[in-house]
Amino acid sequence: MAKFALTVNGKSHEVDVDPDMPLLWVLRDELGMTGTKFGCGIAQCGACTVHLDGQAQRSCVTPIEAAAGGEIVTIESVAGAEAKAIQDAWVKHDVPQCGYCQSGQIMSAVALLREVPDPSDSDIDDGMTGNICRCATYVRIRKAIKTAAATLKG
């Protein structure tokens, strides 16, 4: 066990945990923030995606040791023009089915739009291939990203 200081959604926390513990479980079990999901634990599905220093990151394979000190943003408070546009587009197109993958999808989509404001189909493939949706809502994810990009262009 060791003590780690971390900043999540602008708030500082201190946790006393196993240095190997993935950020995912620090968020969920230690801080009680359950918006970030567990889907595979091996960086295959993207359900656990958070932003670490602005980059989309798989929190299930990010040991707390590596994440401590960074700025972590989760689905609970992801904000800004891109996030709003994405979440609104997600509702507009009724993207979610079971909804379990969608926190991760949205975190990846926001990161994508921040980097590529007007993504092509292949940009969307590149940015979103790491996120599995077992309900296969992909048609609508693609549509919603395009809608969000259009909203941002104004």
Partner 1 sequence: MQFLFDKDKAALQSEAVREPIEASRRTILKSIGGVGAGLVLGLQLPAAAKAQSGAAAVIKGDGGASTFAPNAFVRIAPDSTVTVLIKHIEFGQGPYTGLATLVAEELDADWSQMQAQSAPANTPLYKNLAFGVQGTGGSTAMANSYEQMRKAGAAARHMLVEAAAEAWGVPVDDITVSKGVISHKESGKSGKFGDFAEAAAKMTPPSEPSLKDPSEFVLIGTHLPKLDSRAKATGEATFTMDATLPGMLTVLIQRPPLFGAKAKSFDDTETRKVAGVVDVKLLPRGIAVYAEGFWAAKKGRDALKVEWDETGAETRSTAEIVADYSQSAATTGKVVKEAGDAEKVLDAGGKTIVAEYVFPYLAHAPMEPLDCLIEANESSAKVWAGCQMPTIDQGAIAQTLGLRPEEVKIETLFAGGSFGRRATPVADVAYEAATAVDAIGRTRPVKVIFTREDDIHGGFYRPLNVHKMKGAIDAEGNITAWDHVIVGQSIMEGTPFESMMKDGIDPTMVEGADDLPYAIPNFRASVHKKTLAVPPLWWRSVGHTHTAYSTETFLDELIALSGKDPVEARLKLLGDKHPRLTGVLKAVAELADWGSAVPEARARGVAVHKSFNTYVAEIAEVAMGEEDGVPRVHKVWVAVDCGVAVNPDVVRAQMEGGVGYGLGHILYAGLTLDKGRIMQSNFDTYRSLRINEMPEVEVTIVKSAEAPTGVGEPGVPPIGPAVANAWAKLTGKRVRNLPFAPIES
Residues making contact with ligand FES (CB under 6 A): 38-41, 43-48, 58, 60, 96-102, 133-135, 137
Contact between 53 and partner 1 by CB under 8 A: the answer reads no
Scan for tokens 């800004």, then name that residue. 80
Say which residues have a Cβ less than 8 Å from residue 69's Cβ, sequence separation at least 6. Answer: 5, 6
**Cα atoms found within 13 Å of the Cα of residue 60, Cβ hemisphere only:** 15
- Only one of the segments 43-51, 65-73, 110-118, 146-154 lies at the binding site for partner 1 (rule: CB under 8 A); that segment is 43-51
Contact between 124 and partner 1 by CB under 8 A: the answer reads yes
CB 30 within 8 A of CB 17: yes
The count of residues interacting with partner 1 (CB under 8 A) is: 56
Sole binder of partner 1 in the list 27, 28, 110, 112 (CB under 8 A): 28
